[in-house]
Amino acid sequence: MEERILFELGSVYRDNMRIKGYSFGKGEHSVCIVGATRGNEVQQVYICSKLISVFRQLERQAKIRTGKSILIVPCVNPHSMNIGKRFWSTDNTDINRMFPGYNLGETTQRIADGVFRNVNDFKYGIQFTSFYMQGSFIPHVRMMKTGFEDIELAKDFGLPYVFRRNAKPYDTTTLNYNWQIWETKAFSLYTNATDTIDEESAAEVINAVLSFLNKQGIIEYNCHEGYISKFIEGSQLVNVKTSKSGFFVRHAMVNSRVRKGEKLAEITDPYSGEILDEILSPTNGIVFFHADQPVIYSHTPLYRIIPTDDLI
């Protein structure tokens, strides 16, 4: 293993910010794995740390194939992570909306540029990231429709779902999108935690990455190959919102099977405890995502459901 500094940013009042990379093997730039770009993505850094431990062992056992190299970047935003702030600590900008970066631009543009120069020529790119809304997902591979995405290759992770959505204008400045434009096969992997550590979903995603790398001939690793992934388009999901504000009391959790008319949650008055709204499922299906804030505002999406034709 080689530890090196990919980018360093000077600071007047604090120690310099150093973005570190951990490389394994020698040869072609086979795969780059990036963890947190935001300061609250604790689960994402944790997954990278576990993978670094695994790759150390594989390297000692000569199970990283000859001519292949792996780079892991656990955290792109250590300053914000140190103070528990999601976005860049001084101007609240999102580094994952600054790629490919600009070395003469704003601070977060320079950080994105420094990182992207080190990761833009890998054959495969894997990013552990988080949703713009606080909540939990079924672990899945997420891709944007850019014309460069590879659905069949994404199924090699063996996660339950491969999810594709249409790219929006603001997506053009994300790491995943720019990786694809620079001809890297890019994948975003989601677990069901962000600012906490969830061992079960972390282990599932770690196994998925190792299985994928084994199938691509980058490592030798005998592991469970996971699920036969189901492909879903973002437009297929049914969004469920609330018309009231209050405490969010969940009844249905991620991966639950629900029936049309089944109670998913209640919104209660924070003072009186009165039930203000009962959230009912509009369809038979599987809960793909649910919000997990204790207090919810009106018209907030609470659930995303994969519709099914369950008849029993």
Residue type present at position 284:
N
CATH top-level class of 2-233: alpha beta
pLDDT number for residue 162: 97
Measured CA to CA in angstroms, residue 110 lies from 117, 174, 226 at distances of 11, 14, 39
Cα radius of gyration rounded to whole Å, the chain: 20
Within 92-156, residue ranges assigned H as helices are 107-119, 151-154
pTM, full prediction = 0.93
Tokens describing residue 236: 């297929």
pLDDT number for residue 29: 98
pLDDT number for residue 224: 83
pLDDT beneath 50, residues of the chain: none
pLDDT number for residue 288: 96
270: preceding bond cis by omega (within 30 degrees): no
Measured CA to CA in angstroms, residue 115 lies from 43, 47, 80, 102, 183 at distances of 20, 19, 16, 11, 17
CATH 3.40.630.10 range(s) for the chain read 2-233
pLDDT number for residue 10: 84
Collect all residues with Cβ–Cβ distance below 8 Å to 57 and sequence separation of at least 6.
none
CATH 2.40.50.100 range(s) for the chain read 237-307
Local structure of residue 219 (DSSP, 8 states): B
Local structure of residue 195 (DSSP, 8 states): S
- CA torsion 66-71-72-77 (nearest 10°) is 180
pLDDT number for residue 294: 94
60: burial class by Cβ within 10 Å (0-12, 13-18, 19+)?
exposed
Residues 176-199 pLDDT 10s: 999 999 999 999 999 988 999 999
Domain over 237-307 is classified CATH 2.40.50.100:
yes
